Amino acid sequence: MKNKVIIITGASSGIGLACAREFAQRGAKLALAARSAEKLVEIEHELKTNGTEVISVKTDVSVQDDCRHLISETLKAFGRIDVLVNNAGISMRAAFQDVDLEVLKQLMDVNFWGTVYCTKYALPSLLESKGSVVGVSSIAGFIGLPGRTGYSASKFAMHGFLETIRVENLKKGLHVLIAAPGFTASNVRKAALTADGSNQGETPRKEEKMMSAEEVAMHMAKAIIKRKRTLILTFVEGKLTVFLKKFVPGLLDKLSYNHMAKEPDSPIK
């Protein structure tokens, strides 16, 4: 990754922040994007202190002009783009019959359209560099998770979009990676939206038993370098789930229902 120019959306916390630090250690030049300009400035200062070439651009990926501006500022600073990591995302936790439809629209705007916008404007430079487009997805992009309709829908949409981009550019040297970290210790669940669109607050899951964001970032770096198609982390909630979906989908439905229904205050009864 030495001297590669990498854009990371959702870079102010969680997997995005861990990727910024991991890629910086590997010698990358970074363009960091998030809605919180204050947090970005802190991270930019931290990385510059350690010798990394980095810019930060306040970006709401659900806003098309913000994404265009992010790509423009990156090209202005570095002259090229080698890797785009579409990491910005939000989650939700509510049964479909209870959820406000605006919540689902917000999930699609950030998780799906944010990926589309950034990829659209970065694509010419990525084709020139024969670079990588990365979508940070979830097991929810492989199976429909009960209580997560908007989240699963947005990740399924992301998968379809990125797989099509891969095939369309098959002979142009573009690398497309779909990364599914599984449940990761980060603030994405604390910021998850409830039925009325308010933040969930305290996560119902035991964060200490999950994979760390730093571990996810390390695996992602290796997958980008090896130009892998898919990265599925964790065995039971990752690889085994995808296997069961393919061969015994009915059993997986029951297991998913029972698993999600056991969460504290689960919207699934």
- For residue 247, what pLDDT is reported? 87
Q: What are phi and psi of 263, to 5 degrees?
A: -60, 145
- For residue 121, what pLDDT is reported? 98
Dihedral-angle region of residue 115 (phi above 0 means left; psi in -120 to 50 means alpha; beta otherwise): alpha
Residue type present at position 112: F
CA neighbor of 203 nearest in space, from 182, 185, 180: 185
- For residue 101, what pLDDT is reported? 93
State pLDDT tens for residues 246-268.
888 888 888 888 888 788 877 77
- For residue 206, what pLDDT is reported? 54
- For residue 235, what pLDDT is reported? 66
Distance CA 164, CA 245 (A): 21
- For residue 245, what pLDDT is reported? 79
Token duo for residue 105: 């629209």
Q: Render 134-174 in DSSP notation, one character per residue.
A: EEE--GGGTS--TTBHHHHHHHHHHHHHHHHHHHHTTTTT-
- For residue 200, what pLDDT is reported? 65
Dihedral-angle region of residue 89 (phi above 0 means left; psi in -120 to 50 means alpha; beta otherwise): beta
Token duo for residue 20: 């910024």
Spans of the chain, pLDDT less than 70: 184-191, 200-209, 235
Beta bridge mates, 68: none
- For residue 264, what pLDDT is reported? 80
Domain-by-domain residue ranges, the chain? 5-261
Distance CA 204, CA 167 (A): 39
Catalytic annotation, residues: 151
- For residue 128, what pLDDT is reported? 97
Token duo for residue 78: 């570095």
Say which residues have a Cβ less than 8 Å from residue 39's Cβ, sequence separation at least 6: 12, 13
In words, the CATH class of domain 5-261 is alpha beta
Is the pTM value of this prediction over 0.75? yes
